[in-house]
A and B are shown apart, each in its own frame.
Chain A
């Protein structure tokens, strides 16, 4: 038997109005880790959905172990040894780890009626041992960290005796240590002959873990390369067809005497914001760095009034303000772009225009009625200004790509005429091309005199964008760096500076 276990030839797929896959070829060898990269909407997910039978292909052939193969659905694919781990975890958070892994395939006692929990837990323990994962099978799923949950999901997939494992952005929510652990598991699996398709936006990871890389763009196959013979910039070039990146900042663009627009003092909120004080100047991009759970998002939400605060004062434009709800914050011209757009930023089944003006309907109201024409014109203006790719302002927002959705959220706050914008992980889940567009947009906004707080877990992003960087650890601000003095080591030092009480 040849080493090629899967070959997809001339796969073609159309959705209404979109040619999602254009005669794509793809092949996979036994035991290889194959990176699949491309901008959002390039067709990676569609290709994987065709492979696992979620979508039926319009034409083309799939050969799996040299047999013609036509997957009818994820279950069918799984039976034949093709498993997928989606970006969003599909877990039953109230059940135990073992119950999650063997759901649908529970062991019963001899009488065939009652469940055999003991055997279940034993099987899970054996599985974890095989994969070198340290998780108790009887732990309740919801109590695990996201990283551990991801491990369980992988264990569940592997327990099906897989030949091909597809991982769709598995590291989006993982810490560095957890990513290393994941990679170890992946290499072990590869040694055992399992082939993996690894989808990610993170170039450094792709370079580290994969053997080969396939690049897709606009539904077409751009090419497949050996990882060790290819540089990151070459891959990015293939992905976007061009390279535009904002240059890293070397010095702050903000004058020392620029107006202080936001002053937060001794803010305490919930369990993860402790005595936080900082200032934000006009035209400044203030980077918030730190590890996961350092309290950055919580700080932003407290300042914005999304979560209640216990104590602390907030001054805006020199005046003390009371912010008890997002309504107060928006009234004071503050806007918040959440890290989780779909949950906190967008009304997904409403249209583009309904989302862009959501925060500023008052402006379009004339004697009780909304001026539909004005709403449309304004939205159209911002669609053009921010080059939001959408067939029309009536398009349902769900159908837009991540980058364009993010731009709609930005448009929402610009239409509201916000002076202070809080960007929480502004480029999470956004492809390279749209990323640099968002960066350029942020710089432009700062140059226009808007003030920006940017929370980011990606150090290169923090270093590229910020004028000044605040580092948080365990709910406290542990360091402040001017961009001129900042580097990755310095930020990491502060980010791990635990309180010595």
Chain B
């Protein structure tokens, strides 16, 4: 009774597995979107779509950047407050110091990148644990934001203002009040650039290697300090872009804001399949993860659930995504063992298939008698198969139960015997 394995060609199986892995998150996104479309009020509309996109930009950029850091096996807790600190510094420069908008936006980038360098320096050169280093930066950047702005919120210029041009980077509103979500293009472009960096350049390869085994990378002559630092700098760059997108959508930035964004960014990366233990992840996955969160955020209100339900459901999604991923990896390593009844069914189904082909052939060549005979044979075989399969299955189940009972009984007598037969 040799078990027979259902054996597809190896290559096919690999593609199937990889495909499923990649498709799982996008499928979930589509399903959630459809769910809200069907059960929510006015969810299927262009405006809602634009709202979803608007809500996804700032977290999206943060998440893309933090993906790099997580792949190195680190974590960046500072992205949220760094982003806000940079935005508020830029806003203050525009409002209070009289800088032109262009220069203010560059300042936003510069501040965020500087914090990225600072994080990278602490982690890569000073060897501080990433959690501690970026926790410190999180507080420092929040403090800096408050100091620079004098604990006052700053409003960026409205669209009507000549300096409001930067809002067009993320959304163009035409004179007849039609919104074009250009930010989606920016987000996609950044994702593609990051994807290329991660998969096609030395930097990306090293970031994966460091995350998989830092010491092996070092002993292979990789400049671990430099490349590990670069991941944090990328995270800073992303925080800078996010720091521009935030006021472009929400206008006002406040010094106390930003805390907690980093957790949504990390959640986005995790939902997208990036492993917190490092060495695994993709920015496209992260993008999907961010969209899932954004759809939840906009979909729940359409079902009369307040926005704070978003946090609740995002938590559920994070845990679910990781559980599913673990389950899938385990399943992928398993092999399906076929019992004799399964084998019988497969073999008979093949036979029926053969008959069917012959039947079709006969039908085409117009030998009706033969075709009729074949059809009857096919039908009989099918009935017989169902019957035999059922009895075989029942017998197998009974047999399994009998073995189980025997084992249980054996174990009982066995434990007693062990007690008596002590090893001296």
Are A326's CB and B219's CB within 8 A? Answer: yes
Shortest CB–CB separation between residue A198 and chain B, in angstroms? 18
B36 on interface, CB distance cutoff 8 Å: no
Name the interface size band of chain A.
Answer: 35 or more
Shortest CB–CB separation between residue A219 and chain B, in angstroms? 13
Partner pick for A194 among B280, B333, B414, B423, CB 8 A cutoff = B423
**Dominant secondary structure at the B interface:** helix
B377 on interface, CB distance cutoff 8 Å: no
Q: Which residues of A contact B217 (CB under 8 A)?
A: 347, 358
B295 on interface, CB distance cutoff 8 Å: no
Are A369's CB and B200's CB within 8 A? Answer: yes
Are B212's CB and A372's CB within 8 A? Answer: no
Q: Which residues of A contact B411 (CB under 8 A)?
A: 67, 69, 80
A327 on interface, CB distance cutoff 8 Å: yes
Interface string of B230-265 (1 = CB under 8 A from A): 000000000000000000000000000000000000
Chain B interface: which of A12-20, A177-185, A234-242, A427-435?
Answer: A12-20
Partner pick for B221 among A67, A330, A350, CB 8 A cutoff = A330
Are B221's CB and A331's CB within 8 A? Answer: yes
Which of A67, A193, A338, A416 is most buried by chain B, counting CB atoms within 10 A of its CB?
A67
Q: Given the complex of chains A and B, what is the CA–CA distance between A242 and B30 in angstroms?
A: 58
The count of residues in chain B whose C-beta lies closer than 8 Å to any C-beta of chain A is 45
Closest to B212 in A: A347
Please report which residues of chain A, range 360-377, place their CB below 8 angstroms from some CB of chain B when the two chains form the complex: 361-362, 365, 368-370, 372
Q: Which residues of A contact B403 (CB under 8 A)?
A: 68, 70
Are B218's CB and A326's CB within 8 A? Answer: yes
Please report which residues of chain A, range 35-80, place their CB below 8 angstroms from some CB of chain B when the two chains form the complex: 58-59, 64-65, 67-70, 80
Q: Which residues of A contact B213 (CB under 8 A)?
A: 343, 346-348
Q: Tell whether A359 pairs with B221 under 8 Å between CB atoms, given A59-B3, A80-B414, A192-B424.
A: yes
Q: Which residues of A contact B208 (CB under 8 A)?
A: 347, 350, 354
A169 on interface, CB distance cutoff 8 Å: no
Q: Which residues of B contact A14 (CB under 8 A)?
A: 3, 5, 335, 337
Please report which residues of chain B, range 160-202, place their CB below 8 angstroms from some CB of chain A when the two chains form the complex: 196, 200-202
Q: Tell whether A68 pairs with B410 under 8 Å between CB atoms, given A327-B222, A344-B215.
A: yes
Shortest CB–CB separation between residue B303 and chain A, in angstroms? 40
A261 on interface, CB distance cutoff 8 Å: no
Are A68's CB and B406's CB within 8 A? Answer: yes
Task: Please give the residue numbers on chain B whose beta carbons come within 8 Å of chain A beta carbons, in ascending order.
Answer: 1-3, 5, 10, 13, 196, 200-202, 205-206, 208-209, 212-213, 215-223, 279-280, 332-335, 337, 403, 406-407, 410-411, 413-415, 417-418, 422-424
Q: A343-B216, A347-B213, A358-B205 are in contact. List 13 more A-B contacts (CB 8 A).
A: A12-B3, A16-B13, A23-B2, A65-B414, A68-B406, A69-B407, A69-B411, A161-B423, A304-B219, A306-B218, A326-B221, A347-B209, A348-B212
Task: Please give the residue numbers on chain A whose beta carbons come within 8 Å of chain B beta carbons, in ascending order.
Answer: 12, 14-17, 23, 58-59, 64-65, 67-70, 80-81, 161-163, 192-194, 304, 306, 325-327, 329-331, 336, 338, 343-350, 354, 358-359, 361-362, 365, 368-370, 372, 391, 412, 416
A-B contact pairs, 12 of them (CB 8 A): A67-B411, A68-B406, A80-B415, A192-B423, A326-B219, A347-B209, A358-B217, A361-B202, A369-B200, A369-B201, A370-B205, A412-B220
